[in-house]
Structure 1
């Protein structure tokens, strides 16, 4: 389903924000080491040295390319991202991002504060030319693994030109990562007719129609599952609500299935069905979300991710790095800019 550069591909240096997330550094270290089994990577574990080294002591890393890069503290989800970066210049996310800026890392992975990860990436790596803001995108439903949603929550208020850039970045991801030729781009609305939707949708519709993207018009929530569209564009306010609704629905349905089928299936089989249902509706927790639009490959993950989710985010990032995702996105934005599609 996904393009894969292979286990024997070029070495990828991965900077991991070991302190990020609800379970760092124990789960981040464990997940990062798991990822080494699938890919040719060098690990740069960024965090409080003594704490990270204590976690590494639980594993046999002899012969593995693992390095601890010292940092001091982390920026929490309850902190304002910009203020956090100013107050904590040696925090794990800033130190990890600096490794990307200096070329000492090819990929950055963090389960920490999304706002801090985005802010540090924008400040240190910079935005791609012609782009106003970065965004988060990718598949988010296991029953629709080839349908990309963008934006997943990084931009709450969006001008129409930003929505066009979302479509362009999502289209590149769909083509390069999922292998879909000429991806169909749709604008999420309350009806398929051009006249439906609010002002943002109407204005975005016009710009998308004028772009060179394969824009098919408005799509509805049901179209995540119909195969009619490959990339669904919306602002981050709507995208994040959709994503978290499905996550919550998956958790509720898993419990419901367990209750309804208890006594009808063996306990181990019932557990597998329940787990599969949860994973189907929680795809971002198993593969992370690429941060589109910054000059470097950055993966952001859910704060509640355990080791498997961290390994999954690294897996996605390594694949993206291996197929030149960032360069392809720069080229696509340049084409849009030359056509005037990124005008305000």
Structure 2
């Protein structure tokens, strides 16, 4: 019996499409023993497969006649583009033909398809996007980074529980430290939502360490940071833009004159390690937590390396039973019994 992960990949997603998605997915399959279902326009997919060494790999091409573009509203994709590559990929997971899906396409459409096609895990009010960020010590899980621009305090608790499962099952963290992203470290800082969530987290079974500010995200002193999707997305995009600008500034300074170039040559190993640490492609994509199935959402500008690591992450998520553990934790959580949605205000 073949127990290898079988991942459905939206081959048409992303800014570039099959020319990046297909080779990235194939690299993941080759290096990690993953079976692939590439979803999209067969002609374009097979053209890319023809350029690659696929001997010994289990790759299936499933046709989807439509593409969810960045201009499409999420609800329109769910209602009117049911043969789009992302919708078909989700349907493959729902019907048990794939263990998870990966897409670098329209994030809103991907989220909508995930919710309406796969559904939510029992007990989950709202699925959340979790991004894995580099820090000075070890990777950090930031949740939510865009799925919910508004969230109740009780939903932030759920985000924390789901992120805790992700950190323990995929990142192998023991009793991960959880913090709230706020405008100050002290208790009582933040808006009403954060203050309420602070009290709830403090009395929960999670390893809550208090508030953190934006400047603390990359110290590595906590393992999970919880916030709503509006704040999280701003923090994520700021960190991405900052790392890109720093890399450009560093390159400009190091290549400025002969002595700088000589120093660059001597420190090339350290510079390569630095680049790897701040490269979003190392982590592939953002797991969509709380769905009744595994979904990884990637940057639209993802390169081959990012797609490879996203497919690898989906496979590891399946192998470690992360979704089952999230479902069990949510169902059994005494925290959610005490902090029921009926007791929370918007």
TM over 0.5: yes
CA distance change for structure 1 residues 193 and 177 in 2, over 3 Å: closer, same or farther?
same
Give the one of 326, 330, 343 matched to 1:329: 326
Give the one of 334, 338, 341 matched to 2:339: 341
Q: Distance in 1 between matches of 2:41 and 2:70?
A: 18
CA distance change for structure 1 residues 268 and 69 in 2, over 3 Å: closer, same or farther?
farther
Q: Map Cα deviations across residues 269-288 of structure 1 (whole Å, 9 max, x no partner).
A: 78876665454334267421
Q: Residue 261 of structure 2 corresponds to which residue in structure 1? A: 265
Offset of residue 342 of structure 1: 4.2
Aligned length: 336
Q: Residue 147 of structure 1 corresponds to which residue in structure 2? A: 140
Q: Identify which range, 137-146 or 118-127, moves more after superposition.
A: 137-146
Q: Map Cα deviations across residues 281-304 of structure 1 (whole Å, 9 max, x no partner).
A: 342674211110001111110010
Give the TM-score, by structure 1 length: 0.91
- Map 1:309-324; keep pairs closer than 5 Å: 309-324=306-321
Q: Map Cα deviations across residues 63-96 of structure 1 (whole Å, 9 max, x no partner).
A: 3211110001211122111112222110000111
Contact 2:104 2:299 in 1 (8 A): yes
Q: Residue 161 of structure 1 corresponds to which residue in structure 2? A: 154
Q: Residue 213 of structure 1 corresponds to which residue in structure 2? A: 206
Q: Residue 38 of structure 1 corresponds to which residue in structure 2? A: 31
Residue 227 (structure 2) pairs with residue 234 (structure 1): yes
The answer for unaligned runs of 5 or more in structure 1 is 1-8
Contact 1:188 1:220 in 2 (8 A): yes
Q: Distance in 1 between matches of 2:244 and 2:177?
A: 31
Q: Residue 130 of structure 1 corresponds to which residue in structure 2? A: 123
Residue 97 (structure 2) pairs with residue 99 (structure 1): no
Contact 2:280 2:306 in 1 (8 A): no
Q: Residue 118 of structure 1 corresponds to which residue in structure 2? A: 111
CA distance change for structure 1 residues 270 and 27 in 2, over 3 Å: closer, same or farther?
farther
Q: Distance in 1 between matches of 2:54 and 2:134?
A: 35
Contact 1:250 1:280 in 2 (8 A): no
Residue 285 (structure 2) pairs with residue 280 (structure 1): no
Q: Distance in 2 between matches of 1:285 and 1:182?
A: 24
Structure 2 counterpart SS, 1:265: helix
Q: Distance in 2 between matches of 1:260 and 1:236?
A: 36
Q: Identify which range, 295-304 or 135-144, moves more after superposition.
A: 135-144
- Map 1:21-36; keep pairs closer than 5 Å: 21-36=14-29
Q: Identify which range, 90-99 or 61-70, moves more after superposition.
A: 61-70
CA distance change for structure 1 residues 180 and 59 in 2, over 3 Å: closer, same or farther?
closer
Contact 2:132 2:283 in 1 (8 A): no
Q: Distance in 2 between matches of 1:80 and 1:244?
A: 21
Q: Distance in 1 between matches of 2:114 and 2:266?
A: 43
Contact 2:5 2:99 in 1 (8 A): yes
Offset of residue 59 of structure 1: 1.9
Q: Residue 296 of structure 2 corresponds to which residue in structure 1? A: 299
Q: Identify which range, 215-224 or 87-96, moves more after superposition.
A: 215-224
Give the one of 190, 193, 209 matched to 1:197: 190
Q: Identify which range, 13-22 or 225-234, moves more after superposition.
A: 225-234
Q: Distance in 2 between matches of 1:307 and 1:151?
A: 25
**Alpha-carbon RMSD:** 2.1
Give the one of 64, 69, 72 matched to 2:57: 64
Structure 2 counterpart SS, 1:37: helix
Offset of residue 209 of structure 1: 2.3
Contact 2:139 2:223 in 1 (8 A): yes
Offset of residue 61 of structure 1: 2.2
